[in-house]
Amino acid sequence: AENQGINEMPPIDHKELGCHLFDFLFAAQDASTSSLLWAITLLDSHPDILQRVRSEVTNIWNPESDEPITADQIREMKFTAAVAREVVRIRAPATMVPHIAGEDFPLTENYIIPKGTIVFPSVFDSSFQGFTKPERFDPDRFMEGRQEDQIYKRNFLAFGAGAHQCVGQRYAINHLVLFIAMFSTLIDFKRERVDGCDDIAYVPTIVPKDDCRVFLTQRCTRFPSLS
């Protein structure tokens, strides 16, 4: 707005305000829940990665300390953060995010998207382009040695791109890192695997077809109170 010389926000009617509130509620609930389910699913099927998460987290935070995980500790959990980002890459909660073309846009030499056209770019499909062995669950692609999130930045679109990136991106990743860290260290879990359980169901975010049924047992001596 500042770049366009707009000093005051235009008035917003109740319908538009309601749409904005719905966007926030949907992103905070459905999209986050989708990522939590896929995190459990992918860690269960990759025990080596689960063990690395547990090792990193317990070196930084004592699950039986009754102390919450701090922001500084979250920043130290580099591999756990890479796991969270890989979960979002390989199973982007919103597979398509509609946009309206603000002006005529030349997509190719022979085709122009007319202004006002509703475009549905495939966030899911873009996540499988460019990246090394994109179909493989490989959190190390986001570690400092490889930095594929920077090399293939144009393909990592789970949170959008440019001026209209998701405003809750950092919150969503921190939420997922915190969940993975605590769930992995406090709980032993085993998924009930059946035929087709890893297939994708659209509800409208994506979730495991079997709703990710898992059996839980307490891993630590006692749960922290965190009060």
What pLDDT is attached to residue 222? 81
pLDDT at 190: 94
* Domain 14-218 CATH superfamily: Cytochrome P450 (1.10.630.10)
pLDDT for position 2 = 63
CA distance readout (Å), 105 to 109, 114, 134: 11, 7, 29
Identify the pLDDT of residue 23: 79
Q: Which residues of the chain have pLDDT under 50?
A: none
pLDDT of residue 162: 81
What pLDDT was estimated at residue 3? 67
10: phi then psi, degrees, rounded to nearest 5: -65, 155
Q: What is the pLDDT of residues 17-34, one digit of tens each?
A: 888 888 788 777 888 899
Task: Supply φ then ψ for residue 202, to 5 degrees.
Answer: -105, 120
31 DSSP 8-state letter = I
Q: What pLDDT does 94 receive?
A: 87
201 φ/ψ angles, rounded to the nearest 5 degrees: -110, 140
Q: Which residues are annotated as a binding site for heme?
A: 166
- pLDDT by residue (tens digit) across 28-77? 788 889 999 999 999 999 999 999 999 999 999 998 888 899 999 999 99
- Whose tokens are 């935070």? That residue is 61
Which residues are annotated as part of the binding site?
166
- Which of 56, 13, 16 is closest to 180 using CA atoms? 56
* Residues 127 and 92: beta-carbon distance below 8 Å: yes
**pTM metric for this prediction:** 0.85
